[in-house]
Chain A
Amino acid sequence: MDPLALEYSSIADFDVGVTLGTGSFGRVRFATHIKTKEHFAVKILRKVDLIKFRQVEHVKSEKAILHALSQDQHPFIVNMAASFQDPCYIYMVMECVIGGEFFSHLKNARRFTNLTARFFAAQVVLIFEHLHAKDIIYRDLKPENLLLDKDGYLKITDFGFAKIVSFKTYTLCGTPEYIAPEVLLNKGHGKGVDWWTLGILIYEMLAGDPPFVDEDPVGIYRKILTGKVHFPRTYDDYAKSLTKKLLTADLTKRYGCMKRGASDIKRCNWLVETKWEALLKRDLDTPIKPELSSITDTSNFEEYPEEIDIAKPPIYDGPDPFENI
């Protein structure tokens, strides 16, 4: 479509439909561009809450990074078509990824077979390789932030914690079960955190639960820092070997962080047979094909009560920190 058709748009140019998902500061809704009839997912964030919870910088950076990434149209990254704002909200218009949350598919399957897990892990490797080449670290990999497109390929969404970092950054962020030890220790962290989270994701896909779990976050963090991982017996040996290499606290030994970067991971026994180029071209058979009756079928998403969000949030009574973005 003509990029200009969207560039100067406002939310009034869209027919806003059902909620596809919710986050801490707003929700993502299905939307149809009235003029072109094209379908999108619009992330709608409440400014007051962003200001209150000091997320202004994160959202600015999310928008900037999504914008930059969308220039390349990477097959496994959610592309942003436009973004705009009004006094109450920030809007990000993204391509709609209709197959539902990867999280729900994993939840329904309980856990994946070795082949299925391998197929998805390989895509995450390509995503991180692409991001890291641009000095972007993602920092929040988890099934909740991955979506399945209509064919069953992954798309990563939610760049709220992504950051352009040439060497190291310091702010602790992530999702408790997925946080890397160096992040917890507050000593500065870099691209290596993403490879750690890949290790957790692989484990969660194959075992059904992440390796470090506890009732409260402090308990999870203790286990992460202690670093003991127990593998269920069904866990594939090659997968186990890669998982261990990724869940290595020593950054001089963690796969992905050494001189050969991602190629250590791509060439490990578990992934070596992956047809990387075909995968990137989306030329492979996908293990999970979302059931869809049409391209507007949102039944793969959970249902959310709609009335809660109807009332407009108050307008922040100070200078709008988003004014010039």
Chain B
Amino acid sequence: MSDITSELHKYLEEKNINAIFLSIVEEILHNKPENPIGFMVNFILEKYPEETKGFGKQQLQERTKAPSFVSTEVSSNDDIGETDSECSSVNTIESDDASSLLCDELSISEKSPVQKKRRESVCAEQLTEVTVAESELKVIEKSETEAARILYILKNNVFFNHLDEYQMKTVQDVMFCVERTDGDVIIKQGDDGDNFYCIDNGIVEIFIDSPKTGERNLVRTCGDGDAFGELAIMYNAPRAASCIAKGNVRLWALDRVSFNVILMKTTIAKRKSTVDILLNIPVFCLLTEFELNTIADTLQEAIFEDGTVICKQGDRGDKFYLVHQGTAVCTKSVADGTSVEVARLSTGAYFGEIALLTKQPRQATVTADGSLKCFSLDRRTFNRVMGPLREMLMRSIDEYAKSDAQ
């Protein structure tokens, strides 16, 4: 390659010229503008605001009047200055379509800068640990099938499906029944939101009243198993729509305070009971409260069926386990090849903690006896999160060895 061409190539690469041209061509092909030259100028001004600072400010201002590559949908909007919803209607960025690379690119330039609006903060009321500890939750009796239906709905809702079994059950317990007849307003647009609802039985229509025209539009019809009003379990915000019963409706409702009390209470209780156990484990007892809390929150739930071998004598272990519910049996193989039971582990017991420190082979085989729920933590996660702590533990392992020998 001659010097000149290689210099040219270097330049093209450095300045990313190919990509720039490609994007211009794509835009042109997509928009097929009458006046391609003017279109390109506008495109470059908008796409490279900083590089073109000071250039053609005037054209840029005129552009808002003249049709351009800014999508017609946007520029034909007459109250452009105070658009509220449009600023967030950029779902194309979120598009799941794998072939949407081009779309992604386009969706960005489709929006005009004037749409950007200041966003307000939101906030829930504060619950202190004291109020939570003192609050009492009212359990509402339900038939087995009712309870199962509620659980099914919760498990399929993204705002609830992260709850653990106990939290799920507690939430289900406090949900209360609401019965309405045809035309009853369950939620009124603009009102404070306190409850989340799921439909046990019946039909609910959701309407939005336009604040400008006063026109009422049906936006969704909900039936058995559907849920609405999720925002209310997070914080108090004016309801965005009205929900009206069509015929007789039976609903299950959940109020924000109860929900938050349940989550906070169960989370804190679980962490505390885990930390209490960790404190009794020699390798952990030297750690700070912060470190113990972090470990407690890093533990993962692991569920084993009856007979599952959780770890095997002689294998290199990499996980630590806490028994949460159920029983595990520890066996050791002896000289003649048979194995003997050496211990039974139940709630609060632990095993495999040495695996977090060294790659020593497992000392025994542990098997689930009946269904078993554990919390576990693997060495890699532990090192990633607790790093320096591992070294600290290494130093104290001598102590551990001593205490173990005694």
Is A144 a contact of B119 with CB atoms below 8 Å? yes
Q: Interface on chain A toward B: helix, strand, loop, or mixed SS?
A: loop
Report the minimum CB–CB distance from B193 to chain A (whole Å). 11
Is B384 a contact of A252 with CB atoms below 8 Å? yes
Residue among A112, A142, A166, A218 having the largest count of chain B Cβ atoms under 10 Å: A218
Closest to A116 in B: B50
Q: When chains A and B are docked, how far (Å) is the Cα of A220 from the Cα of B89? A: 11
Chain A 83-126 interface 0/1 with B at a Cβ cutoff of 8 Å (1 = within): 00000000000000000000100111111110010000000000
Is A209 a contact of B93 with CB atoms below 8 Å? yes
Chain A 144-166 interface 0/1 with B at a Cβ cutoff of 8 Å (1 = within): 10000000000000001100001
Given A213-B90, A217-B231, A222-B158, also A160-B50 (CB < 8 A)? no
Given A160-B121, A171-B123, A230-B94, also A186-B101 (CB < 8 A)? no
Q: When chains A and B are docked, how far (Å) is the Cα of A188 from the Cα of B272? A: 14
On chain B, the number of residues with a Cβ less than 8 Å from chain A's Cβ atoms is 62
Contact partner of A107 among B100, B113, B237, B240, CB < 8 A?
A: B113
Q: Provide the residues of chain A in CB contact with B263, threshold 8 Å.
A: 170, 186-187
Within 8 A of B (CB), among A24-68: 24, 54-55, 57-58
Q: When chains A and B are docked, how far (Å) is the Cα of A171 from the Cα of B131? A: 13
Contact partner of B119 among A57, A176, A184, A233, CB < 8 A?
A: A176
Residue among A107, A185, A207 having the largest count of chain B Cβ atoms under 10 Å: A185
Closest to B125 in A: A54
Given A107-B116, A166-B290, A253-B384, also A230-B89 (CB < 8 A)? no
Given A116-B50, A252-B385, also A110-B113 (CB < 8 A)? yes
Asked if B234 is at the interface (CB within 8 A of a chain A CB), the reply is: yes
Is B123 a contact of A259 with CB atoms below 8 Å? no
Asked if A194 is at the interface (CB within 8 A of a chain B CB), the reply is: no
Report the minimum CB–CB distance from A99 to chain B (whole Å). 16
Asked if A272 is at the interface (CB within 8 A of a chain B CB), the reply is: no
Q: Provide the residues of chain B in CB contact with A142, threshold 8 Å.
A: 119
On chain A, the number of residues with a Cβ less than 8 Å from chain B's Cβ atoms is 67
Is A252 a contact of B113 with CB atoms below 8 Å? no
Is B122 a contact of A173 with CB atoms below 8 Å? yes
Query: At the interface with chain A, which of B103-111, B134-142, B175-183, B347-355?
Result: B103-111
Q: Provide the residues of chain A in CB contact with B100, threshold 8 Å.
A: 230
Is B158 a contact of A225 with CB atoms below 8 Å? yes
Is B120 a contact of A226 with CB atoms below 8 Å? no
Chain B 277-301 interface 0/1 with A at a Cβ cutoff of 8 Å (1 = within): 0000000000001100110011000
Is A187 a contact of B267 with CB atoms below 8 Å? yes
Asked if A199 is at the interface (CB within 8 A of a chain B CB), the reply is: no
Given A58-B123, A108-B113, A140-B121, also A172-B234 (CB < 8 A)? yes
Given A186-B263, A230-B104, A234-B105, also A218-B123 (CB < 8 A)? no
Q: Provide the residues of chain B in CB contact with A76, threshold 8 Å.
A: none
Within 8 A of A (CB), among B343-373: none
Within 8 A of A (CB), among B204-236: 230-231, 234-235
Is A109 a contact of B50 with CB atoms below 8 Å? yes
Q: When chains A and B are docked, how far (Å) is the Cα of A184 from the Cα of B230? A: 11
Asked if A260 is at the interface (CB within 8 A of a chain B CB), the reply is: yes
Is B104 a contact of A172 with CB atoms below 8 Å? no
Q: Provide the residues of chain A in CB contact with B297, threshold 8 Å.
A: 168, 188, 251
Residues of B near any A CB (own CB < 8 A): 23, 46, 49-51, 85, 88-91, 93-96, 100-101, 104-105, 107-108, 111, 113, 116, 118-127, 158-159, 162, 230-231, 234-235, 237, 240, 259-260, 263-264, 267-268, 289-290, 293-294, 297-298, 381, 383-389
The 8 closest A-B pairs by CB, nearest first: A259-B387, A173-B123, A172-B124, A213-B88, A109-B49, A186-B263, A107-B116, A232-B104
Q: Name 29 A/B residue pairs within 8 A (Cβ), A-sorted.
A: A57-B126, A108-B113, A110-B46, A161-B121, A166-B290, A168-B293, A170-B260, A170-B263, A170-B264, A171-B124, A171-B127, A173-B235, A174-B121, A174-B123, A176-B122, A188-B264, A188-B267, A209-B111, A213-B89, A217-B237, A225-B158, A225-B159, A232-B107, A234-B23, A258-B385, A259-B384, A259-B386, A259-B388, A287-B50
